[in-house]
Structure formats: structure tokens, C-alpha cells
Amino acid sequence: MRLLPTATSTDVQEQQPRVTVLPIGFFEQHGKYLPLITDTAITCVLAQEIAAACPVRLLPPITISCSHEHAAFPGTVSISAKTLHAVIDNIRASLARTGIHKLVIVNGHGGNYVLSNVVQEANVGGPSVSSSPSASTGAVLASTAAWSLIGTRTCTSARSRPRSCSMLPRS
């Protein structure tokens, strides 16, 4: 499993994506046997599936987000909602300077409540940011979010079967 995208600057220039996918995971406990990066690994897999199916730019994951409810567990690292909001705003501004104005957030942690505010504020002038509620909702919602921003009716699944956006619920 590859957690980081490997596209080059030339790849991005040739693809000319209009939408970017940002996986947001977390670094927290998941019991005795799962690694601290479990949420990040799940969102990376979902984001890679979207990138394989749709013409999007895949960003590396944000691996630390809001999880103060897990603070008592060894290994957990958390940032404030304000910091996560600021990081996403900065990423959006950087993307906008390169001509990409649409962002799909693949959220891997239920405690990232601030993401609903990020989406709401970003979409005041029209649809530009979409987010799945959490990775537990699966690839369908994340893919639907991507398709709704791309504006295409059909993307290809990673298994090369066409999928119709009109058959899936809008996010």
C-alpha cells in the first residue's frame, strides 16, 4: 500500500486537473493491534480509488487532525479545530493560485467536526469543497463528492468499469 502520491510536476501539468482530493486521517490509538495511522491509511486508500477513477489531483494526507477525545491514550497526537481549519484554508489558497478551485476532502476521523464548517464556508459562492462525513461511510460518498465537483457524468472505477454519477446520491 502506498500512502503518498507519486505524481511529478510534469504529470500534474499534463493532466491539468480541475479538482484535488485531500485525505485527512489521524494519529490515534486503535486498540492493541492496529497502528496509530489506521485512519490515515484508510483515507489514503479511498483517495487513491477516487484518483484512479476520476481526473483529479491527489494530495498527500494530513495525518494529524482533531482527536482530543483520545488524548488519554498513549501515542495519540491531536491539533485544534482552528489549526485544521487554517491548514485547509491555506491548502485551498495554494491550489487556487495554481488554478484549481475545487477540493474533495476524504475524512478519516469522526472527530473532525470542523470539516463541516470548512465545507459550508467554502461553498458560500458556489460548490467548491466537498467532504465525506468520515471514512466509515466508505468510498461511495467520497467518490460521489469527487464526481459532484468534477461535473462529469461518468468516471471509471479502479477496475475499469464505468460508473454513472446519476445512480449515486449527491453529497
Mean pLDDT of 73-77: 86
Pick the CATH number of 24-167 from 2.170.120.12, 3.40.50.10310, 3.40.1790.10, 1.10.3720.10: 3.40.50.10310
pLDDT band at 164 (very low <50, low <70, confident <90, very high): very low
Query: Which candidate, 22, 124, 88, 131, places its Cα nearest to that of 80?
Result: 88
The Cα–Cα gap between 76 and 87 comes to 19
Is there a contact between 61 and 37 (Cβ–Cβ < 8 Å)? Answer: no
Q: What's the pLDDT tens digit per position in 107-152?
A: 887 777 788 888 888 888 888 888 865 544 444 455 555 556 656 5
Q: What share of the chain in percent tops pLDDT 90?
A: 29
Long-range contacts of 120-126 (CB under 8 A, 24+ apart): 122/92
pLDDT averaged over every residue in the chain = 78
Query: Measured in Å, how far apart are the chain's first and last C-alpha atoms?
Result: 28
pTM score, whole prediction: 0.79
Domain residue ranges in the chain: 24-167
Q: For residues 104 and 46, give the distance between their C-alpha atoms in angstroms, rounded to a whole number.
A: 12
